[in-house]
Structure 1
Amino acid sequence: MRTANPVTGHLAGPTRARYSLKATCVSALLLATQAHADLVADSHMSLETRNFYMNRDYRDAGLSDGPRHDGKPQSKAEDWAQGFILRGNSGFTEGTVGVGLDVLGLVGVKLDSGGGSSGTGVLQRNQRTGEPVDEYSFLAPTAKLKVAKTLVTLGNHEPVMPVLFRNDTRLLPQTYQGGQVVSTDIQNLSLTAGQFRQAHQRDSSDYEDMRMAADGSTGGVPTDRFNYAGATYALQPNLSATFYRAELKDNYSQNAASLLYKSALTESVNFKADLRYFGSDNEGHTNVDNRYLGGMFTVSSRGHSLGLGYQNQRGDTGLPYLSVADPWALNNGTYQPFVRAREDSWQLRYDYDFAPMGLPGLTLMTRYMRGNDFEIRGVAAKEWERNTDIAYVIQSGPLRNLSLRWRNVTYRGSATTDVDENRLIVAYTFKFW
């Protein structure tokens, strides 16, 4: 069993991880109590338990983009695991400058998996053998400082921004280490800026350098600098504009702009328009060159929502983004993001909330996405994906707020590995205070 790193606090041993996690959270709260009562009075602590099963069937095992194990094509990937996500958030000390501390603790436990069938991204694996580990864990603090309506954070972050949208579609969330400033001191304006130095992946116990993902790109290198700054301004109560500038050192620079408009067409019918643009260029020795333009238009009424989306890409490469993170693309599917070089794609999406039918807590989402006008290894290609989510949150009784979700994915493409996939997720959050 490895011991905890005294600098980063990353834990590799399961037993030590549990005791260290508990001791760190208790110590943080004790220090907070000694500093000022408001730290505790405004604090929160919760534990999310996430039981996650995933089965991915590779229909064309053996193609160049398909997974392999021991040099042989892998026909399926299957993992079942239990995750624990502990969040401790303190309040702030009183005074002009308020100080606080947040703690994130993650533990993943294997329930069923194997070297020949793992690789879903649910469990951490031995890099040499591909065997999934029995347990893995991660612990990260975040120091915070507040002046008026400006918040400065240093440590671990879970960014949700146009230029970096962390991935939380597996057992445990992806996070980033660095510093960030968010200010809402000016009315109707939100300002954000920061730098991330390393990434913690969803199936890892440690930090690592960041990497670029971009279809058709060359020259990308690992880096420890991701710089960003952005602003969101409410032009009207129902109309907001956002602009971000970001750079992944020695890989790419990117401008992101968006408009979000919401309106009530009648007493029971609502309309939403989401417009997004990315302009991405090369940095260092890469060939990144992408212009992305997309729009999603949704009409909703009495539990029903129907949306139509389209995105167009130009340039020598696909939309660049940080590896494993989710690109902030409108047609970003559960399996494929539809951001290949020069790919055009569209989406038809339907959502339904069963509450008007007397079934509160039950929801349905289904969507179909199709892309074309791109090439794979110099040959014209196309692809499509269908996603269906059925979720239910128990509304009453001893299991109240227990969440159950079934996620189904079908993907088909030209000269790519076809996939059928199912995920079953059972989650419950204990709120201690």
Structure 2
Amino acid sequence: MALGPVLPLSANADFITDSKLNLGFRTLYYNNDNRDNKTGPSKTQELAKGLKLDFQSGYTDGPVGFGLDALGLMGITLDSGKGRHVGSTMIPSDGDRAADEWSRLGLTFKMKASKTEVLVGTLAPKLPILVFNDGRLLQQAFQGAMVTSREFDGLTLVAGKLDKVTGRGSSDRTGLAVGGGREQSDNFSFAGVDYKLGSNLLLQYYHASLKDYYRQDFLGAVHVLPIGDTQKLKTDLRYFRSRAQGANASGQGGYQVAGYTENGDGKIDNDTWSATFTYTVNGHSFLGGYQKVSDNSAFVQPNQASLGGGVEAGGSSTYLYTDRLTSNFTRAGQATRYAQYAYDFAAMGIPGLNASVMYLDSDSIKTATGSDQREWERDLSLGYVMQSGPLKGLGFLWLNAKMHSEAVPNQDQNRLLVTYTLSLF
């Protein structure tokens, strides 16, 4: 509104008429059973409602357009308790109990020229070297700047720098770190390229650097092979190379990564690769793959759980097929075989209904107490989104996981979600 008096009429019209405002609702019941955890909480059980007000403006007219996005998030506790909240990763704490409500607001200023867009402010990256986490009630949000250019057909260039992050269960911003890191870094810089060859092959390269922790290179290739009119085979190859830098390389206290490292010094030195194949036909999807983490340290990407803001300030996602409900299978030495079957019931005339089951089995985990520990996880998913009527878009999702590990306590987890998005304009 403040921009209105200083913008030409046509620019004001584009800025407003191309704008979108959505109000999202998410209700989440979260139950994590840690029965054999001898040193921490044995069970977390909570129910909360999340509200997401998402405004995306259009661009002003002219060779360089300007815009403004706003993201308002609010969580409301519906059911919790002192004995069921300890160790919560969903609701922030108020003393030793769950907070009644929490909220945050993020603004993103944007500029666009031709096919190049610059974003400054609140960001939700979804890149191989950084994936924002949306696995609880409210999404994780980063602060910084990012530019994306698609000036040439088939070529996408990305670069940016981030300095702050707000955890999925928090209202407070922190710096960045890795799992186990107790010191904040204010500089995560990255650049990358996606190159699409024809309609079936995507090649990727990304480089990222988290100051005083690590530098990381990513190479990826995705190929889709059509087989007739109703079948296809997707091949997805990924490789990450992560090396220590700055304080982590010099062994300074507080900058060490968690888990096993070769010399016990917390230094990052890791190679992780995976190969995944997915065959789809008539609603059926069969996925199989293998992932290997090298021996010297765990796989790393930004994770703020150890910075002292409480576990609700943590939470991270990784660009790995093994990033699951209870584990991500990224410990030093870990070798994981995984398979998934999914079915889209639209093939049977029931659009909106989907189900899947995934099983992951790993060995060769290195820890301080052993070099060949095992871990497995089984995940179930059943979801339905209403396709018509006054409640079109109302979604229901049940997620269930069972994880057994020799490296960490076993877990049984259930999540029930009800979601709905209302378009206001």
When the two structures are superposed, what TM-score results if normalisation uses the length of structure 2?
0.89
The residue type paired with residue 363 of structure 1 is N
Provide the C-alpha distance between the structure 1 equivalents of 2:5 and 2:126, rounded to a whole number of angstroms: 31
Aligned to 2:368: 377
1:297 aligns with 2:273: no
* Structure 1 position 207, deviation (Å): 1.2
Provide the C-alpha distance between the structure 1 equivalents of 2:5 and 2:340, rounded to a whole number of angstroms: 49
1:341 aligns with 2:339: no
Confirm or deny: 8 A CA contact 2:404 2:410 kept in the other structure. yes
Matches within 5 A, 1:22-421: 36-63=12-39, 67=40, 74-118=41-85, 119-126=87-94, 129-213=95-179, 221-286=183-248, 287-323=267-303, 324-379=315-370, 380-421=372-413
Provide the C-alpha distance between the structure 2 equivalents of 1:333 and 1:113, rounded to a whole number of angstroms: 25
The residue type paired with residue 414 of structure 2 is N
Call closer, same or farther: CA 1:202–1:42 in 2, change over 3 Å. Answer: same
Provide the C-alpha distance between the structure 2 equivalents of 1:233 and 1:161, rounded to a whole number of angstroms: 14
When the two structures are superposed, what TM-score results if normalisation uses the length of structure 1?
0.88
* Structure 1 position 30, deviation (Å): 9.4
Confirm or deny: 8 A CA contact 1:54 1:424 kept in the other structure. yes
Provide the C-alpha distance between the structure 2 equivalents of 1:272 and 1:77, rounded to a whole number of angstroms: 38
Task: Give secondary structure in 1 for the equivalent of 2:293.
Answer: strand
Task: Give secondary structure in 2 for the equivalent of 1:285.
Answer: helix
* Structure 1 position 345, deviation (Å): 0.4
Structure 2 residue corresponding to 1:428, chosen from 394, 413, 420: 420
Task: Give secondary structure in 2 for the equivalent of 1:355.
Answer: helix
Confirm or deny: 8 A CA contact 2:4 2:12 kept in the other structure. no
Confirm or deny: 8 A CA contact 2:375 2:407 kept in the other structure. no
Confirm or deny: 8 A CA contact 1:212 1:221 kept in the other structure. no
Confirm or deny: 8 A CA contact 2:302 2:316 kept in the other structure. yes
Gaps of 5+ in 2: 249-266, 304-314
Provide the C-alpha distance between the structure 2 equivalents of 1:362 and 1:337, rounded to a whole number of angstroms: 26
The residue type paired with residue 196 of structure 1 is L
* Structure 1 position 419, deviation (Å): 0.7
Task: Report Cα offsets for 1:110-136 as digits up to 9, x if no partner.
Answer: 00012321133211113xx33211010
Task: Give secondary structure in 2 for the equivalent of 1:337.
Answer: coil
The residue type paired with residue 55 of structure 1 is N
Provide the C-alpha distance between the structure 1 equivalents of 2:233 and 2:322, rounded to a whole number of angstroms: 19
Provide the C-alpha distance between the structure 2 equivalents of 1:99 and 1:239, rounded to a whole number of angstroms: 34
Confirm or deny: 8 A CA contact 1:32 1:90 kept in the other structure. no
Provide the C-alpha distance between the structure 1 equivalents of 2:288 and 2:43, rounded to a whole number of angstroms: 32
Confirm or deny: 8 A CA contact 1:182 1:193 kept in the other structure. yes
Gaps of 5+ in 1: 1-25, 68-73
Confirm or deny: 8 A CA contact 1:32 1:40 kept in the other structure. no
The residue type paired with residue 406 of structure 1 is W
Aligned to 1:10: none
* Structure 1 position 32, deviation (Å): 8.0
Confirm or deny: 8 A CA contact 1:100 1:145 kept in the other structure. yes
Call closer, same or farther: CA 1:328–1:32 in 2, change over 3 Å. Answer: farther
Provide the C-alpha distance between the structure 2 equivalents of 1:148 and 1:60, rounded to a whole number of angstroms: 57
Provide the C-alpha distance between the structure 1 equivalents of 2:192 and 2:182, rounded to a whole number of angstroms: 24
Provide the C-alpha distance between the structure 1 equivalents of 2:378 and 2:5, rounded to a whole number of angstroms: 50
Aligned to 2:254: none
Task: Give secondary structure in 2 for the equivalent of 1:39.
Answer: helix
Percent identity over the alignment is 35
* Structure 1 position 424, deviation (Å): 0.4
The residue type paired with residue 347 of structure 1 is Y
**Once superposed, which parts of structure 1, at least 4 consecutive aligned residues long, lie more than 4 Å away?**
26-35
